[in-house]
Amino acid sequence: MTLEELSERCGLSPGFLSQVERGRSTLSIVSLAAICRALNLPIASLFSASGPLDERPPRVRREADQLHIRIGGSPISYRYLTGQLPGSPIEELLIAEFPPGCEERDSVHEGEEFGYILEGEITLSVEGEEEPLSTGDSYRIGRGERHGYKASSEGAKVLMAVTQRFIEIGEGERNPVRREEAR
């Protein structure tokens, strides 16, 4: 498959895909999910998991049982607090940890995103408008809105609730083990 064909299927530019391919750019979870859909590849196949499937999410999920991921060389790490929430309008609840000065640009996804700044400061950009946010502030990003983040020199932790599932966990893959980096 050419970069142009993949670009048409996943909605990412050929230039961006080329940069990712050459290791000059990193993928967000949203971009990774789009590429996996275009390739008909379950995103869960990129992550390790173990343990039997629960019929419903556990009431308590210990820190050691939460999925920790970092996509490619991206400096942002994500801690999935709940696993998937079947039947809920919120698909995933996670904490995004932004290292000092890190920047994530031009994300677009189908679901809504709600965020609450737990620690530090970020500049949120939505459709070209920037808004500085600090501890205690919250935000909402609508479906299909182009957005990005820039962390302050101290970094930030953001509690996020999203209405779109980014990581699909298939049969036989519940209770994922802790993974610091997924490639």
Q: What is the DSSP string of 101-133?
A: T-EEEEE--SS-EEEEEEEEEEEEEETTEEEEE
For the entire predicted model, the pTM comes to: 0.62
Which residues are CB-contacts of 116 (< 8 A; sequence separation ≥ 6)?
136, 137, 138, 158, 159
Structural domain tally of the chain? 1
For residue 12, is it within any domain? no
Specify if 113 maps to a domain: yes
- Cα 9 off chain centre by: 20
Is residue 137 one of the residues assigned to a domain? yes
Residue 35 host element (H or E) = helix 29-38
Residue 134, in any domain of the structure: yes
10 in any annotated domain: no
98 in a domain, yes or no? yes
Residue 136 belongs to what domain range? 47-162
Residue 51 lies in a domain: yes
The tokens of 50 are what?
A: 């173990």
Phi, psi (degrees; rounded to nearest 5) at 87: 80, -5
CATH number of the domain encompassing residue 141: 2.60.120.10
> SS3 helix, strand, coil % of the chain, rounded to 5?
20, 35, 50
How do the pLDDT tens digits run along the chain, 183 residues long? 898 999 999 998 999 888 888 877 777 777 888 888 888 877 765 654 433 444 566 778 888 877 777 766 678 888 878 766 666 777 778 899 999 999 988 888 788 899 999 999 999 999 999 999 999 999 999 988 999 999 999 999 999 988 876 554 433 333 333 333 333
